[in-house]
Each structure stands twice: as structure tokens, then as C-alpha cells.
């Protein structure tokens, strides 16, 4: 789901504040807006892929360049950080 909003600030000619501005003042101070966009998603957050250097070193049989998963990538919640949210050692480069 995506939610967006636009609010036009009340500054400049014909608006609540600065209605008497001259053209130069209105060009700089009038017509400003505040915008916001929020995106909410569900589902799997990402897919593991190989870096370009590793992908060119392997035989690509088509499709995405994906590593082989050899164990569970899930880390216990107490071990998760913003730098490592899943077990990177669970993925290896596929054989050539």
C-alpha cells in the first residue's frame, strides 16, 4: 500500500499569508508545498544474489545469479543487528 499527501503552504499572492507580495517576492516565497510518501509492504524482504564479480566467474545457465543455500539463513532474534539480519554463511557460490 502506498499513501501520499501534498500540502500547499499558505504563503504568496492570493493566499492567507503574503497576499500583498510583489512578483519577485512571490517567486521566491510563494507556491511552496510539503509532500510525503509512505510505502507499506508485506512478504519476503529480499532475495539473495551474487555480486557481479562472482556471477561472471560462474557458468550462468540463465535467470538470476543466485547462490546456493546450504543451511538456514535465520538468526536468533537476539543475534540480529542492522548490519547482519540473516546468516550470510548459509549461502555459497554454486559450482562452476
Q: Is residue 44 part of a domain?
A: no
pLDDT at 59: 53
pLDDT at 47: 75
Task: Give the H/E segment covering residue 55.
Answer: helix 52-57
Residue with the larger pLDDT of the pair 67 and 43: 67
Do 33 and 59 fall into the same domain?
A: no
Do 56 and 28 fall into the same domain?
A: no
Q: Is residue 47 part of a domain?
A: no
Distance CA 83, CA 68 (A): 22
Q: Is residue 19 part of a domain?
A: yes
Q: Is residue 45 part of a domain?
A: no
Do 88 and 56 fall into the same domain?
A: yes
pLDDT tens profile 15-51? 888 888 888 888 888 889 999 999 988 876 677 777 7
Q: Is residue 14 part of a domain?
A: yes
What residue numbers bound the domain in which 28 lies? 2-39
Q: What mean pLDDT do residues 42-69 have? A: 67
Q: Is residue 46 part of a domain?
A: no
Distance CA 65, CA 48 (A): 9
Amino acid at each position: 500500500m502506498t499513501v501520499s499527501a501534498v500540502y500547499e503552504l499558505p504563503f504568496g499572492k492570493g493566499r492567507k499569508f503574503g497576499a500583498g507580495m510583489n512578483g519577485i517576492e512571490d517567486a521566491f516565497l510563494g507556491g511552496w508545498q510539503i509532500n510525503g510518501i509512505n510505502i507499506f509492504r508485506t512478504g519476503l524482504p529480499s532475495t539473495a544474489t551474487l555480486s557481479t564479480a562472482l556471477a561472471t566467474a560462474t557458468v550462468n545457465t540463465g535467470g538470476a545469479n543466485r547462490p546456493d543455500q546450504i543451511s538456514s539463513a535465520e538468526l536468533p532474534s537476539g543475534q540480529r543487528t542492522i548490519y547482519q539480519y540473516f546468516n550470510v554463511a548459509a549461502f555459497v557460490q554454486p559450482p562452476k
